[in-house]
Structures are given as structure tokens and as C-alpha cells.
């Protein structure tokens, strides 16, 4: 391939126009990087590398420094992001998108959240990782721990909300604030799961990366479809 052809190819990938331009490039990069990092964490979980040893030490440190106020706060956060609560939040957001006729955003939301829930169950049953063992657990579970379902769903839900805000708002302060709030909510949900002894740190990090990869796939697929359909309609 000639240098001119390579330059043209790269310019096309960075272009905001067309349906194989910048959005597809960024989506593909996020998908590849997030999947690669998830694979690294998953390998560490399977082989018992130093990451899992740090998991145990970090969870033990948090358990030994529990504060009742923080326990109650984390319980509120984690219960507000259970599968049932996340479903209610998603349906409410979906209703808003439906009434505003944002069809592709509606499809993206439903695919990201509910598809993500299914994907998380599949991965839990692939890795079979036990949850943290503590003497006096705050919460008890019968399912596997890796990756965290609460965190994964929060990543998808707030990820779509953040992406929608970037598309909806034109001013960068509003966009930045929306993304910061969405990121903070994901981190709070993830920390609540570790603090309450429901998951190890790597469970939460893996869930965030799993959610980002799945989110990138959903956003890229629906955006590309929208671009293609718009071009054929014009």
C-alpha cells in the first residue's frame, strides 16, 4: 500500500463524516483496549497471580476498618443498583428516550444494560470465582464473584447516560459534568461492593472493563447502523 493510500485511510478513520470514521475508530479502540485489559485481569484471577493476593489484603484491610456510617451508606448505594433497581432505572430512562423518539439511543440502552446482564452471568459461570470469605459477612451470596454484576450494569447504564449527554449537550462544561457524574456513580457502586465484602477489587475492575467493552460494541453498532440508514435515506 502506498504512503498516499495509508494517509487517506487514516484520514478517513479520523473523519467525523461517514459511518466508518471517527466514531467507529474510537469505538473499536475502546473495545480492543478494554477487552485486552479484562483478559489480563481474568488471567490473573485464574492463575492466582499477585493481583489476587492484593485482593485479599485490600478486602481484609477494609473489613478491619469498617465504619457503621459507611456501611449504611454503601448498603444504600448497592441496593439502589441491584438488578431489580437497575431494571427500574433503565425502564425509566428508556421511557424518556421513547417519548423523545430517540430510537437508536433506546436500542443502545436496552442492548447495553440487558445484554450486559446476560453477558455477566455467562462470564460468572465461566470463571467460577468464589466471593470473599469473612468471619461476619454483611451480605451473603450464592452466585460467583467475577466479574461484579452490580458494577458491570452500572457501567453500562451510566455509560449510555454519559454518551447520551455528550450527544445531547453542546457545551463542554455540561458534557464534562455529565461524564464526571456518570463515572463517579460507577466508582461508588464498585467501591460499595468491595466495602461490603461482596467482591474483590479485581472483580470490580474486571466488571468495569467488561462493561466498557460491551458498551463500546453497543454504541458503535447502533451509531454505525444509524449512519448507514441516514445515508441511504438522503
Beta carbons of 15 and 227 less than 8 angstroms apart: no
pLDDT tens digits for range 135-146: 777 777 778 999
pLDDT above 70 for 18: no
User: Residue 96's CB: how many other CB atoms inside 10 A?
Assistant: 14
59-63, 106-110, 112-116, 154-158: range with lowest mean pLDDT: 59-63
Beta-carbon contacts of residue 12 (< 8 Å; ≥ 6 apart): 18, 20, 21
CA distance 104 to 13: 22
If you average pLDDT over residues 15-40, what whole number do you get?
A: 76
If you average pLDDT over residues 184-192, what whole number do you get?
A: 97
Count Cβ atoms within 10 A of the Cβ of residue 210 and give its class: 0-12 exposed, 13-18 middle, 19 or more buried. buried
- Greatest mean pLDDT among 50-59, 122-131, 151-160: 151-160
Distances (CA, A) of 182 to 3, 16, 19, 62: 41, 25, 27, 25
Distances (CA, A) of 173 to 11, 16, 168, 176, 180: 28, 21, 13, 5, 10
pLDDT of residue 157: 97
Write down the residue that cell numbers 421513547 correspond to: 98
Higher-pLDDT residue of 47, 76: 76
Percent of the chain with pLDDT over 70: 86
What is the residue-averaged pLDDT of the chain?
86
pLDDT of residue 49: 75
User: Residue 111's CB: how many other CB atoms inside 10 A?
Assistant: 19
If you average pLDDT over residues 117-144, what whole number do you get?
A: 86
Distances (CA, A) of 66 to 57, 72, 75, 138, 199: 14, 11, 13, 11, 15
What residues are annotated to the active site?
150, 199
For residue 9, name the pLDDT band (cuts at 50, 70, 90).
very low
Higher-pLDDT residue of 18, 33: 33
Write down the residue that cell numbers 504512503 correspond to: 3
To the question of pTM greater than 0.85 for the whole model, the response is yes
CA distance 79 to 173: 31
Taking the domains of the chain in order of start, what are their residue ranges? Answer: 21-229
Amino acid at each position: 500500500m502506498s504512503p498516499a493510500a495509508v494517509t487517506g485511510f487514516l484520514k478517513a478513520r479520523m473523519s467525523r463524516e461517514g459511518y466508518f470514521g471517527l466514531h467507529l475508530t474510537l469505538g473499536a479502540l475502546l473495545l480492543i483496549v478494554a477487552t485486552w485489559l479484562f483478559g489480563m485481569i481474568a488471567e490473573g484471577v485464574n492463575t492466582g497471580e499477585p493481583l489476587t493476593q492484593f485482593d485479599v489484603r485490600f478486602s481484609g484491610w477494609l473489613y478491619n476498618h469498617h465504619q457503621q456510617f459507611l456501611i449504611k451508606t454503601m448498603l444504600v448505594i448497592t441496593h439502589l443498583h441491584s438488578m431489580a433497581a437497575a431494571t427500574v432505572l433503565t425502564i425509566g430512562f428508556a421511557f424518556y428516550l421513547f417519548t423523545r423518539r430517540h430510537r437508536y439511543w433506546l436500542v443502545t440502552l436496552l442492548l447495553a444494560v440487558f445484554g450486559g446482564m446476560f453477558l455477566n452471568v455467562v462470564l460468572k459461570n465461566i470463571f467460577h470465582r468464589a466471593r470473599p470469605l469473612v468471619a461476619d459477612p454483611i451480605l451473603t451470596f450464592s452466585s460467583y464473584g467475577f466479574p461484579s454484576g452490580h458494577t458491570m450494569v452500572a457501567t453500562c447504564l451510566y455509560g449510555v447516560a454519559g454518551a447520551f449527554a455528550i450527544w445531547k449537550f453542546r457545551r463542554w462544561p455540561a458534557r464534562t459534568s455529565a461524564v464526571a457524574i456518570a463515572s463517579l456513580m460507577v466508582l461508588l457502586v464498585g467501591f460499595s461492593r468491595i466495602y461490603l465484602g461482596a467482591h474483590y477489587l479485581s472483580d470490580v475492575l474486571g466488571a468495569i472493563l467488561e462493561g466498557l467493552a460491551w458498551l463500546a460494541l453497543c454504541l458503535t453498532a447502533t451509531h454505525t447502523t444509524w449512519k448507514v440508514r441516514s445515508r441511504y435515506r438522503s
